[in-house]
Amino acid sequence: RKEVEQDPGPFNVPEGATVAFNCTYSNSASQSFFWYRQDCRKEPKLLMSVYSSGNEDGRFTAQLNRASQYISLLIRDSKLSDSATYLCVVRVWDNNDMRFGAGTRLTVKP
């Protein structure tokens, strides 16, 4: 079993739609959580950190459920420019070992 699992998608949604991705992690010692975004054939970039109480950044909302060991990312009012692969990242034992999921691909269509 992979340490960080994501639905690979693709998710194909129309502009303006709300879409949610889930990510599950297997190591209960995981301490920190992040969502990264990776455009096609580009490098990953940090989208947002995920805090225990949940957090929002504009149209993006991240949630953490430690008991069930999953994190989620909600995107409201999808834009064409949101088309990308979203990577779930988990830090184990609060050190430098950051484990990446394989990513969920999102395509937003006109």
Partner 1 sequence: NAGVTQTPKFQVLKTGQSMTLQCAQDMNHEYMSWYRQDPGMGLRLIHYSVGAGITDQGEVPNGYNVSRSTTEDFPLRLLSAAPSQTSVYFCASSYSTAGRNTGELFFGEGSRLTVL
Residues binding partner 1 (CB under 8 A):
2, 4, 8, 32, 34, 36, 42-46, 49, 87, 89, 91, 94-103
Bridge partner residues of 66 (DSSP): none
Q: How far is the CB of 56 from partner 1 (least distance, A)?
A: 18
Name the residue nearer to partner 1 (CB basis): 18 or 93: 93
Name the residue nearer to partner 1 (CB basis): 63 or 78: 63
Q: How far is the CB of 13 from partner 1 (least distance, A)?
A: 22
Distance CA 73, CA 76 (A): 10
Distance CA 42, CA 45 (A): 9
